[in-house]
Structure 1
Amino acid sequence: MAEERRSQILQIVRSEGRVRVNDLVNKFNTSAVTIRNDLNELHQRGVVLRSHGGAVLPDRILRESPVTERLKAHAEEKRRIGAMAATLINDGETIILDSGTTTLEIARQLKNKQALQVITNGVNIAAELLDARGVTTFIVGGTVRGESASIIGRSTEDMLEQFSADKLFLSGAGCDPDFGVSGANLEETTVNRAMLRIAREIILVADASKFTMRSMSRIAAFSEIDTVVSDTGLRDEIQAKVRSLGCTLILA
């Protein structure tokens, strides 16, 4: 009966694009706990993605949005996350800021740091730090991606291999605790993996909406992440899952 019900739920998701727990409770005359278990099982199989109060089709959120659109999305949460993440940075450190709109918010908080060295593949991040007198910025070379204002390519990876960093501040299109941190562009995620190899501490910065998403290419498993900085909108069950994977969780 469970498999029959799950098959029907999947058909509904594919037909309508999303489902809600309450609607499925009424349709199948069963408990919310049972429906949530069904959706969690379908999520584990990769055929749906859990969202707040239900589930959606994976391909509804795998597509990459242009950076100009992402700047507007969850702007207040990103600002708080950026400010909180900046408190983890000490004068004199060498850090990596991954390209992204949340890491851009970190860059905006670094203007008063001293003897800080920042490595980045974000064109907008390097521009933001132009007037930061106490910060030396290294921007890696390669091909510029207009969609993300990032620099990618084999030469980017080769240049990163010449550095060592105290901390990497990593973002991602998706942050599903079961799948890991993921991105929508394969070349960009390859650059992210090069960053992981040269950093002693990995800090994920992502607003709560990212934790219902799974994108095409995995960057890192949560077991590789030391600290997660998110916002207070992160659901309790996801908080518990992140902590169970060995991450320190900080909510802004």
Structure 2
Amino acid sequence: MKRRYSLKERQTLILQMLNENGRVSINDLMEKFSISEVSVRKDLASLEEKKLLLRVKSGAVNLQQYNESDEFSLAKKSLKHAEEKKRIGKLAASLIHDNDTIIIDSGTTTMEVAKSLGDLKHLTIITNSLSIAHYLSQLDKYSVIALGGQIRTTSESTVGLIAENSLNNYYCDILFLGVDSINLEKGMSTPNIEEASLNQKMIKSAEKVVAVFDSSKFEKRSFAFIANIDELDTVVTDEGITEEQKDYLESKGIEVLIARAEE
């Protein structure tokens, strides 16, 4: 028989979980305390009124660890670190060869990879990004496969079992993975569980995994775990990466490419 927690005990434990993990989900709290969704939401609302957490769609986040970009729309994200993302996209695209089959994950930095394909020929490109699929289809020069599935309006992408099962049919040369958060010890993470699950399938479908992200994503954690960093072959980022971060990645056998500003 599961223990019954008092209101005070539940709220104390919720705050402890937030301090340890940064986020809590409604489903996890329902299971832990054996209470209804309504009761969980009341607990979170009470704590938010006391300014002890911030409620989000799937649960709550620690105010001190909250990464505002987690909840930004794709359009707003594209405005942040825009020049760095362009340089990263251009450098990452230099890893592609004619006749490659590649996966391009959804995201603003991965969009810059798509925009930097230049004169490459006979590419097959698989993507879950609606905006990337539309952009590439207008060029009428590549074979573009858009993964089906449930549409997430925030990221303008598809997720879910349909998208994941589609990847069972493909094996690709390179995956360009967008990263919301990367922690050298805890690995890569994203705010959305379904996106994390699809990213895991993408990693399994690719010969080479290239993570593309600006350096502001370092040492952050989001709610849903994607993979440990040893799943990566290459990291493409900007010159904001520290020597310690670069050395650590290279010690794990990961190639680090730095997209530097032109002088």
TM over 0.5: yes
Amino acid corresponding to residue 175 of structure 2 in structure 1: L
Are residues 1:162 and 2:176 paired?
no
Match of 2:254 in 1: 247
Q: 1:60 to 1:165 in 2, by over 3 A?
A: closer
* Counterpart Cα distance in 2 of 1:232 and 1:223: 21
* Counterpart Cα distance in 2 of 1:193 and 1:130: 26
* Counterpart Cα distance in 2 of 1:129 and 1:174: 26
Contact 1:122-1:149 at 8 Å conserved across structures: yes
Q: CA deviation at 1:233?
A: 1.3
Match of 1:229 in 2: 236
Match of 1:210 in 2: 217
Match runs of 1:63-82 below 5 Å:
63-82=70-89
Contact 1:112-1:132 at 8 Å conserved across structures: no
* Counterpart Cα distance in 2 of 1:211 and 1:184: 15
* Counterpart Cα distance in 2 of 1:62 and 1:104: 17
Contact 1:61-1:213 at 8 Å conserved across structures: no
Amino acid corresponding to residue 100 of structure 2 in structure 1: E
Are residues 1:147 and 2:154 paired?
yes
* Counterpart Cα distance in 1 of 2:70 and 2:104: 23
Q: Which secondary structure state, in structure 2, belongs to the residue aligned with residue 92 of structure 1? A: coil
RMSD, aligned CA: 2.0
Match of 1:115 in 2: 122
Contact 2:181-2:190 at 8 Å conserved across structures: yes
Q: Which secondary structure state, in structure 2, belongs to the residue aligned with residue 239 of structure 1? A: helix
Match of 2:133 in 1: 126
Match of 1:174 in 2: 181
Overall identity of the aligned pairs, in %: 36
Amino acid corresponding to residue 160 of structure 2 in structure 1: G
Match of 1:37 in 2: none
Are residues 1:219 and 2:231 paired?
no
Give TM-score, length-normalised by structure 1.
0.76
- CA deviations on 1:27-72 (whole Å, 9 max, x unpaired) are xxxxxxxxxxxxxxxxxx657xxxxxxxx93234584221111000
* Counterpart Cα distance in 2 of 1:142 and 1:62: 24
Amino acid corresponding to residue 129 of structure 1 in structure 2: L
Contact 1:110-1:132 at 8 Å conserved across structures: no
Contact 1:173-1:183 at 8 Å conserved across structures: yes
Contact 1:183-1:217 at 8 Å conserved across structures: yes
Match of 1:42 in 2: none
Q: CA deviation at 1:246?
A: 1.9
Match runs of 1:8-23 below 5 Å:
none
Amino acid corresponding to residue 70 of structure 1 in structure 2: K
Q: CA deviation at 1:123?
A: 0.4
Q: CA deviation at 1:134?
A: 3.0
Aligned length: 203
Q: Which secondary structure state, in structure 1, belongs to the residue aligned with residue 120 of structure 2? A: coil
Q: CA deviation at 1:112?
A: 2.0
Give TM-score, length-normalised by structure 2.
0.73
- CA deviations on 1:99-152 (whole Å, 9 max, x unpaired) are 000000000012421100000000010111023343110001011111001101
Q: Which secondary structure state, in structure 2, belongs to the residue aligned with residue 161 of structure 1? A: helix
Q: Which secondary structure state, in structure 2, belongs to the residue aligned with residue 115 of structure 1? A: coil
Gaps of 5+ in 1: 1-13, 15-44, 48-55
Match runs of 1:88-99 below 5 Å:
88-99=95-106
